[in-house]
Amino acid sequence: MNRNEHLKAGLFSVPVLVAALGYFVDIYDLLLFGIIRKSSLRSIGLSEEMVLTSGEFIISIQMIGLLLGGILWGVMGDKKGRLSVLFGSIILYSLANIANGMVHTVNQYALLRFIAGVGLAGELGAGITLVSELLPKEKRGLGTSLVAGFGLTGAVVAYFISKEFDWRIFYYIGGGMGLLLLLLRISVFESGMFQQVKEMNVSRGNFFMFFTNKERFFKYLKCILIGLPTWYVIGVLVTFSDQFGKHMNLSEAIDPGKAIMFAYVGISLGDIAIGFVSQALRSRKKALFVFYFMTMACMAMFFLQNGTSTLTMYLICGGLGFATGFWAIFVTIAAEQFGTNLRATAATTVPNMVRGALPLIILLFKFLREKAGYLNGGIITAIIIMVITLVAAYYTKETFGKDLMYVE
């Protein structure tokens, strides 16, 4: 492809479709543990108390893997190309998931979720970067929203598969789907913008460049902070909705896997919707604020539950998912904020920095719930996160329609 290739790619071109399928498998694998957390940990002989504490430990270890993997794959994406990440990451997390079906101890489980986390870190950032550089600037928001919207349905498929198969088979299926996806990757071509920058005498994929310039550092930090609500909602409110349900005196016990399924149906729809909202408003930031206010409204409904039905909880989780369905636009903003020589590094590390912040969010929540009680701890954590996010978003530069052919 020549240097004008990004003007020729359409919304339903092969790279967009393959990126969407890649993210589908990514989300399926990322949510595996959250969906079968209880059944798998009980199966290896853990008590109910250990199921909760080991579950928090394992998901934190997985997120640390995502954090470190985000840096690894981001740097590689700018140094070696977007496609090297798409191939390398999927091989790693596919093999890790197959091995995950053979674990018998918590430490084995945690180690393999860490390795899978490292692998999963590369998929979305590289896909969003490639799509952003191949599509005309007027369609970037729609293209990345379609990738995320379709990809997030992987969580829904994961939920229904989990009901039909043993949790070990569940992991084997995830690894197998990833390896099959490699066959489709052969037809994807590299970004022309990357090829042009490769021929220039500029530093590519230098992660430390985010910290050597004050303006660039704060721009990078703001990109991370605007995504925090998504993983507070998914990693705390939805994943541990069964624990919240006990403190809300709900009529029946909550199934966390079902809550995750409802949330990801919402996120999938929200990710598609925000692309059209951004196009209509011709603004990334305005679209973000629309969804932030919906997030706060749904959080209020979540915490105000008292003796309601399980269906109400699942529907609220769906609403929270839709409201936090700004993941695609959030990653697109990160890709658009930086030059081509740092774009993959930014787009890959930023979402994984947010995922990697989940252990810190869980620690904050643990501290606050010990001081103020389970529900009040959740409410205070939500307020802190939303205040930080709104301030960061307010000071983030608008990137709608920005020309991406430049270097840092």
Q: How many CB atoms lie within 10 A of CB 408?
A: 18
The whole-number pLDDT of residue 310 equals 93
Q: What is the Cα–Cα distance from 335 to 77, expressed in whole angstroms?
A: 12
Q: What is the Cα–Cα distance from 18 to 27, expressed in whole angstroms?
A: 14
Q: What is the Cα–Cα distance from 60 to 264, expressed in whole angstroms?
A: 20
Q: What is the pLDDT of residues 56-75, one digit of tens each?
A: 899 889 888 988 888 898 88
Q: Give the residues of the chain that fall short of pLDDT 70.
A: 1-12, 185-195, 199
The whole-number pLDDT of residue 185 equals 67
Which of 206, 209, 229, 228 has the alpha carbon at shortest distance from 219? 209
Q: Taking a C-beta distance cutoff of 8 angstroms, is the pair 119, 148 a contact?
A: no
Residue 288: both structure tokens together: 């973000």
The whole-number pLDDT of residue 9 equals 56
The whole-number pLDDT of residue 290 equals 97
> Is the sign of the CA dihedral 15, 16, 20, 23 positive or negative?
positive
The whole-number pLDDT of residue 64 equals 87
Q: Taking a C-beta distance cutoff of 8 angstroms, is the pair 143, 17 a contact?
A: no
**Residue indicated by tokens 């599509």:** 135
Residue 211 CA: distances (Å) to CA of 79, 385, 399, 407: 18, 23, 21, 16
Q: Is the pTM of this model over 0.85?
A: no
Which of 222, 264, 196 has the alpha carbon at shortest distance from 31? 264
Q: Taking a C-beta distance cutoff of 8 angstroms, is the pair 116, 29 a contact?
A: yes
Q: What is the Cα–Cα distance from 121 to 116, expressed in whole angstroms?
A: 9
The whole-number pLDDT of residue 183 equals 77
Domains of the chain: residue spans and CATH? 5-184+209-394 (1.20.1250.20)
HEC string of the chain? Answer: CCCCHHHHCCCCCHHHHHHHHHHHHHHHHHHHHHHHHHHHHHHCCCCHHHHHHHHHHHHHHHHHHHHHHHHHHHHHHHHCCHHHHHHHHHHHHHHHHHHHCCCCCHHHHHHHHHHHHHHHCCHHHHHHHHHHHHCCHHHHHHHHHHHHHHHCCHHHHHHHHHHHCCHHHHHHHHHHHHHHHHHHHCCCCCCHHHHHHHCCCCCCCCHHHHCCCHHHHHHHHHHHHCCHHHHHHHHHHHCCHHHHHHHCCCCCCCCHHHHHHHHHHHHHHHHHHHHHHHHHHCCHHHHHHHHHHHHHHHHHHHHCCCCCCHHHHHHHHHHHHHHCCCHHHHHHHHHHHCCCCCHHHHHHHHHHHHHHCHHHHHHHHHHHHHHHCHHHHHHHHHHHHHHHHHHHHHCCCCCCCCCCCCCC
Q: Taking a C-beta distance cutoff of 8 angstroms, is the pair 152, 271 a contact?
A: yes
Residue 249: both structure tokens together: 């005196």
The whole-number pLDDT of residue 26 equals 81
Q: What is the Cα–Cα distance from 5 to 297, expressed in whole angstroms?
A: 42
Amino acid at 22: G
Q: How many CB atoms lie within 10 A of CB 92?
A: 22
Q: What is the Cα–Cα distance from 59 to 239, expressed in whole angstroms?
A: 10
HEC string of 325-375? Answer: CCHHHHHHHHHHHCCCCCHHHHHHHHHHHHHHCHHHHHHHHHHHHHHHCHH
**Residue indicated by tokens 């081509």:** 340
The whole-number pLDDT of residue 101 equals 92
